[in-house]
Amino acid sequence: MTGRFAGRVAIITGGGKGIGAGCATVFCQEGGRVAILDRDVLAGELTAERLTAAGPGMAVSFPCDICDSETFCRIIDDVAVRWGRIDCLINNAGIHPPATTIDDTSLEMVEQVMRVNYLSTFAGAKFAVPHLRKTKGTIVNISSMTAVLGQDRSSAYASSKAAQVGLTKSLAIELGPQGIRVNAILPSNIDTPLMHEWAATLDDPQSALARVAALQVFGRMGTPEEIGRIALFLATEDSSFITGQAIEAEGGASLDY
Ligand SMILES: NC(=O)c1ccc[n+]([C@@H]2O[C@H](COP(=O)([O-])OP(=O)(O)OC[C@H]3O[C@@H](n4cnc5c(N)ncnc54)[C@H](O)[C@@H]3O)[C@@H](O)[C@H]2O)c1
């Protein structure tokens, strides 16, 4: 089989929809085998079926809530047994609570956001590293531009995304000598179900989406596949001298202040 990821295996959390599905699409198009770990069982299965039918790679859905660390760890080990290797882990699954002031943000909410967005990223890396040592593989963490820019009434979310960047840099130092590269992608605004769910919480969703699209210099949001192509670059030898980086995939949104 040909393709830039042919013969290799990726695990993608939250691969059923949005950015995760965009990554899965690109990795399958490049001949890879992809394990989609998603708590939305139907979305995971539909995406896996669609990608396998399109080829040349294939995808299999593994129902998994990544907050259930025992199941998360078992599935990572199962994938390694099933396909004999793991070359890349994409820690993508994440949540964004509705905009909330610090006064109205409960500590339980902070804990939940940190658990999904940060602790599961840590757990995924911890569980995958024994397998990645064998392939000299890579970890790609999907963070956010909010990690460096902040976001109004989103302090729990933005700090969970900043924590992913700190983890990325520290693991890059620790694991680099063992041949494992670790990088993060920081998207600005990407057209995904999460984006539409966020807009739906506002008074005028359509104008909110138009406002968000206008933030990028291209006047549009990014697509999940555009993030997937950056993830593929970070997962292959094309980026062999890059580790510990927070790649700002933001369509120029932070320029011209
Ligand atoms: N969409 C954007 O504009 C944007 C911008 C910056 C960063 N991000 C980040 O990208 C990542 C993906 O976002 P998206 O917009 O594609 O979201 P999305 O909601 O459209 O898709 C996320 C997927 O993750 C799954 N998921 C969520 N929690 C899970 C859990 N506990 N266990 C297993 N699966 C779970 C969902 O079922 C869904 O399929 C998130 O980490 C998000 O913070 C998104």
CB-ligand 1 contact for 87 (6 Å cutoff):
no
In this prediction the pTM is: 0.98
**Mutation pick for ligand 1 pocket among 194, 209, 227 (CB with most ligand atoms within 8 Å):** 194
Tens-digit pLDDT profile for residues 138-186:
999 999 999 999 999 999 999 999 999 999 999 999 999 999 999 999 9
Q: Hey, what are 174's tokens?
A: 């620790």
59 part of a folded domain: yes
What is the predicted pLDDT for the residue at 2? 86
Show Cβ contacts of residue 120 under 8 Å, excluding neighbours closer than 6 positions: 13, 66, 67, 69, 72, 91, 93
**Residue 252 backbone dihedrals phi, psi, to 5 degrees:** 80, 10
Residue 256 included in any domain: no
Tokens matching residue 32: 């890879």
Report how many domains make up the chain. Answer: 2
Answer yes or no: do 148 and 216 share one domain: no
| Residue 139 belongs to a domain | yes
183 and 216 co-located in one domain: no
Residues of the domain holding 211: 191-221
* pLDDT tens digits along 84-125: 999 999 999 999 999 999 999 999 999 999 999 999 999 999
Residue 257 clears pLDDT 80, i.e. is over it = no
Buried b / exposed e over 78-90, threshold 16 CB at 10 Å, is ebbeebebbbbbb
> pLDDT band at residue 19, thresholds of 50, 70 and 90?
very high
Instruction: Give residue 228's pLDDT.
Output: 99
Query: Which member of 5, 72, 127, 157 is catalytic?
Result: 157
Distances from the Cα of 120 to the Cα of 106, 200, 239, angstroms: 20, 27, 25
User: What pLDDT, in 10s, does the model give residues 231-240?
Assistant: 999 999 999 9
The band of 9, judged by pLDDT with boundaries at 50, 70 and 90, is very high
- 111 and 53 assigned to the same domain: yes
Domain co-membership, 143 together with 230? yes
Tokens of 191: 């057209």
